[in-house]
């Protein structure tokens, strides 16, 4: 259940409602929007019994949330989208921020070079895997902590925010010392211990869609993070497995407007993993912006033929990335956004 307060509700009104909720052993989550403050009631609302929340001072209405994901549901924020500020960049607002970089961090020189190039082209974040979730155990698994330090150097050089993946609950603290946003990869969308652990962290989380997950399962995974108290979840559509084998995955752009209908959380799109083929990435990035993506995640490599993961084939050359960033501008404007 959520309680929507009146636009002129005072802090004392809100505190009184929270106190009432907590007095019966329920949890209250307060989220402050531009128009209303919304108080989410977590737990069995029958515990409220006959307590007349609706007649309390400052309360406009109460609403039951029927979706299985509660905190992630659109109603939870009274129809206001969540905007998350990371390293000075807004995600979920009018601007469409771009996260770009190689699949994996391979050396200081590599990550600093790419960071400079993508920054020049207009990216706001440098990405790169330090801990890589590889399908086979003999493939390059990432340089771990050493790579985190290399990302830090790229940030120091460029000011770009860092996005990197965390794979296990016990590495959340270490990765959190370096990254501005955690990435949870497709293979870990249902790693519930990891979801809970990043839910207890104080950093935003990019939650990639499981490659076989329905949108509802994905939003329930987000709910795990939110329910631990971390409100800053960004969903990332990165393609799903279908019967189609021409492309690495099928980029499900339906997910963008569906998520906007169902949830207040921002959704970014990753056309690199969504297609797996460099020649398709630019077109699908344009389509992502047209569909309403709140951000983009793109693999860019200055020497993709020598990339240490198999993802060189889907990585854009820096010049392609630069051109793409320009070509996206009028598309963003056409859908009321900016890039």
* Contacts to Mn ion by CB under 5 A: 103, 311
Euclidean distance between CA atoms 56 and 79, whole angstroms: 22
End-to-end CA, the chain: 36
Nearer to Mn ion, 277 or 290 (CB): 277
Q: Binding pattern to ligand PEP, positions 109-128, x when CB under 6 A?
A: --------------------
* Least separation in angstroms between CB 118 and ligand PEP: 15
Nearer to ligand PEP, 183 or 227 (CB): 183
Euclidean distance between CA atoms 157 and 135, whole angstroms: 33
From ligand PEP, Mn ion, none, interface partner of 332 (C-beta below 5 to 8 A by class) = none
Euclidean distance between CA atoms 111 and 100, whole angstroms: 11
* Least separation in angstroms between CB 208 and ligand PEP: 5
248 contacts ligand PEP (rule: CB under 6 A): no
From Mn ion, ligand PEP, none, interface partner of 301 (C-beta below 5 to 8 A by class) = none
| Out of 89, 164, 186, 191, the residue judged to bind ligand PEP by CB under 6 A | 186
Euclidean distance between CA atoms 45 and 95, whole angstroms: 38
185 contacts ligand PEP (rule: CB under 6 A): yes
Name, in order, each residue with C-beta under 8 angstroms of 106's C-beta and a sequence gap of 6 or more. 143, 307, 308
Token pair belonging to 285: 């990035």
| Out of 103, 148, 166, 201, the residue judged to bind ligand PEP by CB under 6 A | 103
* Least separation in angstroms between CB 259 and Mn ion: 22
Euclidean distance between CA atoms 275 and 288, whole angstroms: 12
275 contacts ligand PEP (rule: CB under 6 A): no
Residue ranges with strand state E in 34-180: 37-42, 59-63, 84-86, 89-91, 98-101, 125-127, 161-165
Instruction: List Cα–Cα distances, 55 to 6, 52, 62, 180, in angstroms.
Output: 12, 6, 10, 42
Residue range at the interface with ligand PEP (CB under 6 A); choices 78-86, 105-113, 180-188, 199-207: 180-188
Fill in the DSSP letter of residue 186. G
Residue range at the interface with ligand PEP (CB under 6 A); choices 17-25, 147-155, 179-187, 283-291: 179-187
Largest CA distance in the chain: 67
From Mn ion, ligand PEP, none, interface partner of 185 (C-beta below 5 to 8 A by class) = ligand PEP
* Least separation in angstroms between CB 273 and ligand PEP: 4
In the complex, which residues of this chain contact ligand PEP (CB under 6 A)? Answer: 103, 129, 133, 185-187, 208, 238, 273
């Amino acid at each position: 259940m959520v309680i929507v307060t009146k636009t002129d509700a005072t802090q004392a009104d809100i505190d009184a409602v929270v106190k009432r909720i907590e007095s019966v052993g329920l949890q209250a989550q307060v989220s402050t929007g531009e128009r209303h403050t919304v108080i989410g009631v977590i737990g069995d609302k029958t515990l409220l019994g006959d307590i007349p929340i609706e007649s309390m001072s400052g309360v406009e209405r109460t609403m039951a949330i029927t979706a299985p994901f509660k905190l992630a549901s659109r109603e939870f924020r009274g129809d206001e989208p969540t905007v998350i500020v990371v390293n000075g960049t807004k995600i979920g607002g009018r601007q469409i921020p771009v996260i770009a970089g190689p699949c994996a961090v391979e050396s200081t020189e590599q990550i600093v070079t790419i960071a400079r190039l993508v920054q020049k082209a207009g990216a706001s974040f440098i990405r790169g895997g330090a801990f890589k979730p590889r399908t086979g155990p003999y493939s390059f698994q990432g340089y771990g902590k050493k790579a985190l330090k290399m990302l830090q150097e790229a940030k120091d050089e460029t000011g770009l925010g860092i996005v990197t993946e965390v794979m296990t609950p016990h590495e959340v603290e270490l990765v959190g010392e370096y990254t501005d946003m955690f990435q949870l990869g497709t293979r870990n969308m249902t790693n519930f211990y990891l979801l809970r652990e990043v839910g207890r962290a104080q950093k935003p989380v990019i939650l990639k869609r499981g490659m076989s997950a329905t949108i509802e399962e994905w939003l329930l995974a987000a709910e795990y993070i939110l329910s631990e108290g971390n409100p800053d979840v960004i969903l990332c559509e990165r393609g799903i497995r279908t019967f189609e084998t021409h492309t690495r995955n099928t980029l499900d752009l339906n997910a963008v407007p569906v998520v906007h209908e169902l949830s207040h959380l921002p959704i970014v799109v990753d056309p690199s993993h969504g297609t797996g083929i460099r020649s398709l990435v630019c077109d699908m990035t344009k389509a992502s912006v047209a569909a309403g993506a709140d951000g983009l995640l793109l693999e860019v490599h200055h020497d993709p033929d020598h990339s240490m993961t198999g993802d060189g084939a889907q990585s854009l050359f820096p010049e392609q990335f630069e051109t793409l960033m320009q070509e996206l501008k009028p598309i963003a404007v056409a859908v009321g956004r900016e890039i």
